[in-house]
Amino acid sequence: MDITVQELKQRIDAGDNDYMLIDVRETYEHEEFNIGGKLIPVGTIMAAIPDLAPHKNEEIVVYCRSGNRSGMAKQLLEASGFTNVKNLLGGMNAWQSSLG
């Protein structure tokens, strides 16, 4: 199951931080605009697995520019045993076009 930008925005606005937010874009994209996620570019996600392992059963929301790279990151995390990974549908493009 994935998450929409509206659902995530509601959770952020409500102060719900019972999940890990991961930005899988490149550094320059993260610096241009981000919503507070931990930066782990998709090309380095496998190297980050040991650091993320303590969060294997926690909710993790991954996002990128359009949802494609975060979809790949979700698959990689799930293949590594993570049980509750959600892709932000439409990524930062959808966030900026629908939420400003």
What six digits make up the tokens of 14?
């409500």
Task: Give CA angle at 30 (25, 32), nearest 5°.
Answer: 130
Q: What is the pLDDT of residues 13-33, one digit of tens each?
A: 999 989 999 999 999 999 999
Q: What is the pLDDT of residues 62-82, one digit of tens each?
A: 999 999 999 999 999 999 999
Q: How far is CA 49 from CA 39, 40, 68, in A?
A: 13, 10, 20
β-sheet bridge partners, residue 21? 61
Q: What is the CATH T-level fold of the domain 5-99, as seen in this structure? A: Oxidized Rhodanese; domain 1 (3.40.250)
Q: What is the pLDDT of residues 32-59, one digit of tens each?
A: 999 999 999 999 999 999 999 999 999 9
Quote the pTM value.
0.96
